[in-house]
Amino acid sequence: MPERRAAAARRAARLSLRRRLLTFLLVPVLGVLVLDAVIGYFVALAYSNRVHDADLSDSALTLSEMIDSDALSGELTAQARFLLEYDPDGRNYYSVVSDRHGRMIGNAELTGPGVTIHTDAPPKLYDTALGRRPLRAAIMRVPNRHDAGDVLTITVAENLRDRHTRAREILFLTLPMQALLIVAVLCLVWLGVSHGLGVLEPLTARLSRRGHDLGPIGEEDVPVEILPLTRTIDDLFARMRNMLGLQERFIADAAHQLRTPLAGIQLHVERLEGTTDDAERADALAHVHRLAARAARTSAQLLALTRTQSPDLPDHDGMDLIDLSTLVPEAVGMRVHQALSLGVDLGYEGGEGPCLVRGDALQIQEVIDNLVDNAFHYAGRGHAVTVSLAGTEDEVILAVEDDGPGVDEAFLDQLGERFFRVPGSDQEGTGLGLAIVESIAERHAARVVFRRGAESGLRVELHFPAPLTGKPGETAH
């Protein structure tokens, strides 16, 4: 049960392209709705302020006209006071102050804007306060028509409650329409995402019908946005085809190359079972031993060839910097004892100084072993095998040369092919040694050259490109 719950939780937490697209689209749209409401409120408030400011200016002008028409006796008529003070959400305030006589009428002590107000100028609007209550006021100065030389300062003010109320009313009128528009946009986004993802259905259906086909997906019905994904999958399929091809080739090669020694082993085992003659039994055991060794060597070389062709190995540029002037003499030294036992004169020739290449030390060791084994095998007792190393500015040349019977020039171009053996040769072999050398050389960006020896025999050269960067002290092995 805990495992099932954990699996269900993992499935629930699995990324959904639809959910991610809708989240990336819907959340910003909702944010835009909130931002639009805030901006709409301040726009409505600005409009409300403009209307109320105009009303304030009109009130100041109206009060000045009242003063012109009637001499002030210290009070306004009840009708005029009602018109000035009326406000359904609070109170309005006014005052008339004479430069000569002081405050004449009014219902509040209103402070001025702190700047000079010119006589007969249009009403000036400003923010003020009465106690802790914020107000918006209009002020103007007019001559006192009933007292020559006197100037009256007329101030009319109102609180801000009605302005905010009008702004909210405007917002509440427009917000439902905006919300309806946003909902329509969200529905369109939902439908658009669903329809957009629907274009993947033909591709999904086509892939589901492929079965075990590892061919390229192609691009005929693939949307541009997912082309990088399908191309990556095609690269993966190509690597898988390569791996499967290597496996199938290995199985086929193993079946082909091991069939003869295994059949021979079975035949000689049957001889052992069917005879009591000691000489015949000894001959059968000798054949079994020889065929078993051949099968083991064939299997080992097949595995070695398959390893050199593995796509998991690093390419030439990703290999380490190694010094062949150290590696090659060590590899030759390890084969001296075998050369002595076979009666072969094994030698090494190399210049002074490092010979740097980019490569894999173990694979180059395998190259040397295969070339030396091939020379031992076909040169034979009493002959010489020489391993040489030379370097130039552009390349490093590793060569293995013997003075044996050699190979006819007509067959030099075929050396390195899988299972190729020179016709007429009486030496047993798998035909894989030089194929392994060719495969390793290709991975190291090296060139293999087969040619006749200086006097006789065969000379095999590997031309490694000199590294573009690196110093002797940077060798990795």
Among 159, 192, 209, which residue terminates a domain?
Answer: 159
pLDDT of residue 230: 78
Question: Using CA atoms, how far apart are residues 325 and 340, in angstroms rounded to an integer?
Answer: 23
pLDDT of residue 472: 44
* 332 & 390 share domain: yes
Question: Is 164 among the domain residues?
Answer: no
Confidence band for 475, pLDDT divided at 50, 70 and 90: very low
Residue 429 has pLDDT above 50, yes or no: yes
In a 3-state reduction of DSSP, which class is residue 304? Answer: helix
* 268 & 400 share domain: no
Question: Is 135 among the domain residues?
Answer: yes
Confidence band for 399, pLDDT divided at 50, 70 and 90: very high
What is the sign, positive or negative, of the torsion defined by CA atoms of 287, 293, 294, 299? positive
Closest residue by Cα to residue 92 from 159, 30, 143, 152: 159
Between 42 and 33, where is the model more confident?
Answer: 42
Max mean pLDDT among 18-32, 212-226, 317-331, 426-440 falls in 317-331
pLDDT of residue 126: 92
* 387 & 414 share domain: yes
Question: Is 47 among the domain residues?
Answer: no
pLDDT of residue 107: 80
pLDDT tens-digit readout, 328-339? 999 888 888 888
The domain in which residue 148 lies consists of: 72-159
pLDDT tens-digit readout, 197-243? 777 777 777 777 777 777 777 767 677 767 777 788 778 877 777 76
Question: Is 44 among the domain residues?
Answer: no
CB contact at 8 A, 463 and 395? yes
Question: Using CA atoms, how far apart are residues 36 and 39, in angstroms rounded to an integer?
Answer: 5
Question: Is 9 among the domain residues?
Answer: no
Above pLDDT 70, what percent of the chain?
75
The model's pTM: 0.45
Number of domains in the chain: 3
CATH number for position 445: 3.30.565.10
* 327 & 408 share domain: yes
Residue 456 has pLDDT above 70, yes or no: yes
* 86 & 134 share domain: yes
Report the Cα–Cα distance between both ends of the chain, in Å, rounded: 54
pLDDT of residue 123: 92
CATH number for position 138: 3.30.450
* 452 & 436 share domain: yes
Confidence band for 80, pLDDT divided at 50, 70 and 90: low
Question: Using CA atoms, how far apart are residues 336 and 450, in angstroms rounded to an integer?
Answer: 24
Residue 285 has pLDDT above 70, yes or no: yes
* 260 & 354 share domain: no
Question: Is 321 among the domain residues?
Answer: yes
Between 288 and 476, where is the model more confident?
Answer: 288
Both tokens assigned to 345:
């004169």
pLDDT of residue 387: 92
Residue 413 has pLDDT above 50, yes or no: yes
Question: Using CA atoms, how far apart are residues 25 and 425, in angstroms rounded to an integer?
Answer: 76
Length in residues, the chain: 477
Both tokens assigned to 354:
């490092």
Average pLDDT value over all residues in the chain:
77
Question: Using CA atoms, how far apart are residues 280 and 57, in angstroms rounded to an integer?
Answer: 135
Question: Using CA atoms, how far apart are residues 85 and 88, in angstroms rounded to an integer?
Answer: 10
Question: Using CA atoms, how far apart are residues 160 and 156, in angstroms rounded to an integer?
Answer: 13
